[in-house]
Structure 1
Amino acid sequence: MFDSRPDRDAEVVLVGRSNVGKSTLMRELTGHTFDTGQRPGVTRKPNHYDWAGPDFVLTDLPGFGFMKGVPEDVREEIKTDVVRYVEANAEKILVGILVVDGKSVVDIIDRHSGPEEIPHDVEMFHFLREVGVEPVVAVNKMDKVDDEDERLDDLCDRLGLHPPWQQWQETIAPISAKRGNIDALNEAVRHHLHEAQRDDLFQFF
C-alpha cells in the first residue's frame, strides 16, 4: 500500500497504462517535471503534487498493464496497489483521470476482450464509477489520430457509453499533452469540481 499521501481532503488522481503519457500530462497540468524513470514500470510509487494553500493534491498513480521487462506478478502487484489506493481514498477523490493512448486504445481493448478477460482500461473506468469517483477519460495523443470522431465514438462504445462521443464531454476529453492541448480535459474536470462545490480548485485546471 502506498503510504506517502499528503493529508488533504480533496484529490484528483491520474490512472492508466504505462506509456500513455501520464507524466507528460502531469507536467502540463502542474508546470513541474517529475522523475519518471527511463523504463516503463519504474514509477512504483504515486507522484503527489501538493499545492501549498488549498486543501488539494493531484496524484499520478503508477502505470499498470503490460510493461516490457517487468514480470507479470510485479505488474499485478502495481495494479492491485493502484486499486487499493483509489478504494482507500475514494471519498476524497473528486475526479479520476483515466489516461489512454487515443491511437491504440480501441485496438488494445479489442485484443483483450473475451469471456475470461476484461481489458484494463474498461475495468478501471467501471471501477472508478463503482467506488463513486467521477471518471474522466483523457484520450491522449489525438494529434496522431486521423479519424478523430470515429475513434472517440468507438471508444465510447467499448466503455458502454452510447455514441456520439460529443454527448459525453464531461467524461471523454480528447487531448494532446505533448502539444499542450488539454483544454477539453480541464473543462471536464471543472464540471465535476463544480458539481462537488469546489470551484476554488479551478485555478489548477
Structure 2
Amino acid sequence: MFESRPDRDAEVALVGRSNVGKSTLMRELTGHTFDTGQRPGVTRSPNHYDWASEDFVITDLPGFGFMEGVPEDVREQTKTDIVRYIEENAEKILVGVLVVDGKAAIDIIDRHSGPDEVPYDVEMFHFLRDVGIPTVVAVNKMDKVDDRDERLNELCERLGLPTPWQQWRNTVAPITAKRGSIEPMNEAIRHHLHEQGRDDLFQFF
C-alpha cells in the first residue's frame, strides 16, 4: 500500500496508464522535475508535490496497465493500490485527472473490449465518478492526432458520453503536455474547483 501522503486536505490526482505523459504534465503543473524511469512502469509509488504553505497537494499516481518487463502480479498489485488510494482519499480529492494518450487510447480501449473485460481507462473513468470525484480526461499528445474532433468523439463514445465532445469541455480536455499546451485541462480543473468553492486554488492551474 502507498505510504507517505502529505497531510493535506485538498488534492488533485493524476491517474492513467504508463507512458501517457503524466510525469511531463506534472512538470508543467509544478515546475518541478520528478524522478521517472526510462522505462514505463518505473514509478511504483505516488509522486506528491505540495506547497509547504498551502493545504493542497498534486499527486501523480503510478501508471497502470501493461508494462513491458513488469510481472502481471506487480501490475495487478499496482492497480489495486491505486484504487485503494483513491477510495481512501476520495473525500480530499477535489479533481481526478485521467490522462490518456490521444493517439493510442482508442486502439488500446478497443483491444481490451472483450465480453468479459472493461478496458482500464474506461473502468478508471467510471470508478472515479462512482466514488464522487469530479473527473477530467486529459487527452494528451494531441499534436500527433490529425482527425482531432473525430478522435475526441470516438473517445467520448467509449466513455459513454454522448457526442459531440465539445459539450464536455469540463470533462474532456485535449492537451499536449510536452509543448506546455495544457490550458483546456486547467480550465476544466478550475471549473470543478469553483464548483467546490476552491477558487483559492486557481493559482496552481
For 2:94, the aligned partner's letter is: L
Superposition pairs of residues 82-101 of structure 1, within 5 angstroms: 82-101=82-101
Distance in 2 (alpha carbons) for counterparts of 1:68 and 1:75: 10
For 1:44, the aligned partner's letter is: R
Distance in 2 (alpha carbons) for counterparts of 1:47 and 1:60: 5
TM-score, structure 1 as length reference: 0.99
Residue 138 of structure 2 is aligned to residue 138 of structure 1? yes
Distance in 2 (alpha carbons) for counterparts of 1:168 and 1:129: 15
**Identical aligned pairs, as a percentage?**
80
1:17 corresponds to: 17
Q: Deviations over 1:121-146 (max 9, x none)?
A: 00000000011111100000000000
Q: Deviations over 1:156-178 (max 9, x none)?
A: 00000000000000000000000
Distance in 2 (alpha carbons) for counterparts of 1:54 and 1:197: 16
For 2:73, the aligned partner's letter is: D
Unaligned residue ranges in structure 1 (runs of 5+): none
What is the CA distance between 1:52 and its match in structure 2? 1.8
SS of structure 2 residue aligned to 1:37: coil
What is the CA distance between 1:38 and its match in structure 2? 1.7
Unaligned residue ranges in structure 2 (runs of 5+): none
SS of structure 2 residue aligned to 1:74: helix
Distance in 2 (alpha carbons) for counterparts of 1:33 and 1:53: 20
2:38 corresponds to: 38
Distance in 2 (alpha carbons) for counterparts of 1:164 and 1:106: 16
SS of structure 2 residue aligned to 1:96: strand
Runs of 4 or more, structure 1, over 2 Å off, are none
SS of structure 2 residue aligned to 1:64: coil
For 1:187, the aligned partner's letter is: E
Q: Deviations over 1:95-133 (max 9, x none)?
A: 000000000101111110021110000000000001111
For 1:155, the aligned partner's letter is: L
1:203 corresponds to: 203
What is the CA distance between 1:26 and its match in structure 2? 0.3
Superposition pairs of residues 118-137 of structure 1, within 5 angstroms: 118-137=118-137
CA RMSD in angstroms comes to 0.5
How many residues end up aligned between the 2 structures?
Answer: 205
What is the CA distance between 1:70 and its match in structure 2? 0.3
Distance in 2 (alpha carbons) for counterparts of 1:162 and 1:57: 32
